[in-house]
Structures are given as structure tokens and as C-alpha cells.
Amino acid sequence: MFDSMLKHKINIAILIVWLFHITALIGISLGDVDWFIEKTPFNLSLCLLLFMLSYPIHKKRQIIAFMIFFAGGMYAEWLGVHYGILFGNYAYGSNFGFQIDGIPLLIGSYWGLLTFITAGILDYAKIQVVPKVILGAALMVILDFFMEYSAPIFDFWSFDENVIPIQNYISWYVLSMVFHSILRILKLKGNQKFSLNIYMAQLLFFMFFYFQQ
């Protein structure tokens, strides 16, 4: 009974994730860019809530890990925005929600969400821990690669002279490996089905606009 209810809850969460991403994709493609992009904070907040409920994030170790990823991501972004350290010289726009000292709170949450779901995709793969860390970090960088194209267009963030330095991807990968290593040390696992769907929804969304260039 409990397993059946859990599967039903996860299926509804997956449906909502795809519904919002496909709707935004169609709306933006039809020219309603501003209206849909302004809803980015709501969309990301909804994804975060569904992630918390479906992954799920409810054990003490999971909450602590998420807070580590949130704080670590926020600090790394702060170093990047204010000093050009790690990712290069860039600044956040107005469509990523509430900011503290130029850093959107959602970006910290996004670091946590991405770490958990990319790890979740590999949780039950019959491979050793080290390959899981390497591949999980690679999945995060792949998504970032496609996001970078749309980011300035959607006023998420932009690099100086719109040039994305290679150090951005190197830093993303190194930091992602650190986060994935922490997660594996803590031996945390989540729902693979939900993780795969939310990752693919976001990847296909940003890939669509990347290949439109």
C-alpha cells in the first residue's frame, strides 16, 4: 500500500515537472519570452519542492548534505561574482529570483538539487563509487554547458563580453566532484526515476534553445 502511494506521488511529481517545462518551451518558442522567463523563480521553486518531496529529502544526513551544497554553491558563486574566482567574471540578471549581495538564493538550492539528482541517476548502477562521482559531476557540467547559452538571453546571468571561459567548466567539474564525493561518503540514495526525469526535462529544455542558435 505504502509503495503504491509513493509511486503515485512520484508519477504526479514527474508529470508536473514535464508539464511546466514543455509549457514554457512552447510559450517561449511562440514569442512569450518575457512572461515565461519571469516565472523562472516560481518554476525552480516548484522543482525544488517536488524534489524535496519525491527524492525525498527528509533524513537528517540528507538535510545536512543539502545545506552543505547550498552554502558551498553560494560561496563559490559569491567568489565568482565579486572576484572572478573559479568561474570567471560574470553577474546575475533579474530573472533568477531574490538575491543576497548579488547572488540568487535559488542558485545555491540549484547546486544542491543538481548534486542529488545527478547522483540519484547513478545510485543503482552496478559500478564503483569513484566512477559514480566522476560521471555524476560530468552530468552536472553537461547541463551547465547547455544552460550557458540561454542564460544571458533569459537574463539569468552573463559573462563579461559574453565569453564563457574554460575555467567555468573546469571549476564546475571540480566543485561538482567535491559535492558528489561528500554525498557518496554519506551513502545517501534517492529516487532514481524522479531524478532522471527532472534532469532530462531541464537538459532537453536548454538543449532546444542551444540548437536554435
164-196 confidence digits (pLDDT tens): 999 999 999 999 999 999 999 999 999 999 999
Report the alpha-carbon distance of residue 197 to residue 204 in Å, rounded.
10
DSSP 66-104: HHHHHHHHHHHHHHHHHH--SS-SEEE-SSS--EETTEE
Q: Between 161 and 115, whose confidence is greater?
A: 115
Please give the pLDDT value at position 2.
44
Widest CA span in the chain: 56
* Segment 116-134, tens digit of pLDDT: 999 999 998 899 999 999 9
Is it the case that residue 4 has pLDDT exceeding 70? no
- Is the per-residue pLDDT at 91 higher than 90? yes
* CB atoms closer than 10 angstroms to residue 117: 26
Q: What is the pTM of this model?
A: 0.93
pLDDT in tens, 92-102: 998 898 999 99
pLDDT at 113 over 90: yes
Which region holds residue 102: left if phi is over 0, alpha if psi is between -120 and 50, else beta? Answer: left
| H or E stretch at 159 | strand 157-159
Q: Which residues contact 1 (CB under 8 A, 6 or more apart)?
A: none
